[in-house]
Amino acid sequence: MRAEPIAGRYERVEEIGSGGMGQVWRGYDSVLDREVAIKLIHPDAVHTPKQAEELTKRFRREARVTARIQHHGVPQVYDAVLDRSYDRLYLVMEFVRGTTLRAFIDPQQPLPVTWAAAIAAQICTVLSHAHAVPVVHRDLKPDNVLVTEDGAIKLLDFGIAAILRTDVTRLTSPSRMLGTDHYMPPEQIRNAQITPQSDLYALGCVLHEILAGQRVFAGSSDFELWRQHVTEPPPPLRTLRPDVPAAIEELVLELLAKAPEDRPAEAYDVYERLLPFLPLPGSAPPVTVPPFSTVPDPTLVYRRPNAPRRRPEPAPVVPAPRSDSAADPAAILRTGVRDAIKAAVSQSDELLDDERFAQAAEVLEQVIGPASAALGAESPRVLGLRSRRAAILVIGGDFRRALPEFDALAAAYARTAGPTSGDALECLRQAAHCRAELGQATTALRQFRQVLTHVRAASGDASPTALDLRFNIGMLLLSEGKAAEAADELQPLHDDLCVVYGPEHELTLEVADLLARLRLAAGE
């Protein structure tokens, strides 16, 4: 049974993280049909109406302030929901796919200096925009930094610490676990004023850790760790890693100064001191060795600023698994896969009725994997599910994701049913349609004509499918500026449409209008 939507709108799909603050869910906004991140926050217990009122005000204030940070390095805040019992807070935010900075930290293989500088410089860029609002993060740590596929930094959980008041450290409560002690500045431990310099101290802790592969301090208890942050000098980086430039070591030591006024004045100053260690635009990628070959390259945004979207990698061809002759496919279906397919199709139909195309496609995607494992990757049932999902992507206008799937489906149907089978030709036709929408007119024309040849041979020149294909071809010729060829295609099409549908049919009139425009342009 699906959980009740939050605020009647946001549906939780799967839990993707949890911690002291609560759970993080990947979900969907049912109104706008888009993925969202839903953060469920558990504040301290609310016992009185006055506490509930204060919590409500603080929650909304912090959510609104966070929403004012207009920078691509901060996930957008879409909504803030406080439930009626005042013990659950929901922040609905942009869903970001990325690799947590924690995955970059390896004591045996610290990050290259250029990578560390690129990460820190991007964090500085985000902090400079936040501090100008002003918003202080209060909980900067590797777990709150995501590196996206293109190497861009996303800084998570702005405002969460303020909502939960994690800056209030109760030294008299040793059982209180903050979970961020390794990155906490002395003033936060002392419950003094939190300022932008507090974030810079945490940045120094992060930069030290990604360069040295270990934290600045490693106290065996909370109190010991707090004491080290407040009184003990940090170890110079070059004593742990001699190849770190002296200027970087000096910067980290300044960031880790005990007194806020002894740290750099602002994030922009830190960014400028990191500039000499950043790669220049157009420079070659650094040589990477494992484990860095498996994580995004944070220097990419400096080497190729404002680069176009990456070309999609061709989908690998997955061979159909060998079937066990002793296995009974019908029995496999009865073990749950059949019911899962039926439920997924039914749910996707409901979502389609609400025009929630992205979520309808995902519901089918989730069942395709188990169905492939049980029935075979190229079984008719699985190929049907994949075709249905790809068609939904087209209806939703997501031609870029639909195209590789229709290409793969056309090849699969050609193998299993023959290259001129109805399913193979329909998938080829849909692939051509996607290419036409994406501006790949030449290839789309070739594919449309390839399909038309087989359709003509099977059902003639005036079948509904043939007429539609001929119209597509004429329109593509027009888009490529081939007016004469377009007219040669559209004039006989118009004649056939008059016979099949009549002169007043919508498509007949549209083709007639196109021909009139072509004659006008030709001066006839």
**What residues are labeled active site?**
139
d(CA 186, CA 175): 20
DSSP class of 80? E
Cβ–Cβ < 8 Å for 208, 102: no
**The two three-digit tokens of residue 238, written as one number:** 């070059």
Is the backbone of residue 240 left (phi > 0), alpha (psi -120 to 50) or beta? Answer: alpha
Q: Which of 3, 185, 32 is nearest to 90 (CA)?
A: 3
d(CA 499, CA 463): 12
Q: DSSP letters along 432-474, please?
A: HHHHHHTT-HHHHHHHHHHHHHHHHHHH-SSSHHHHHHHHHHH
d(CA 424, CA 464): 18
d(CA 362, CA 430): 19
Q: What's the distance, CA 31 to chain centroid?
A: 19
Strand 153-155 versus strand 145-147 pairing type: antiparallel
| Sequence-ordered list of residues with C-beta below 8 angstroms from that of 490, at least 6 positions apart, any chain | 471, 474, 511, 514, 515, 518
d(CA 56, CA 163): 10
Q: Is the peptide bond before 245 cis (omega within 30 degrees of 0)?
A: no
**The two three-digit tokens of residue 86, written as one number:** 């005042």
**Which helix (DSSP H) or strand (DSSP E) does residue 431 occupy?**
helix 422-437
Cβ–Cβ < 8 Å for 253, 234: yes
d(CA 436, CA 432): 6
**The two three-digit tokens of residue 9, written as one number:** 């709108």
DSSP class of 103? G
| Coil, strand or helix at 111 | coil
DSSP class of 17? E
DSSP class of 93? E
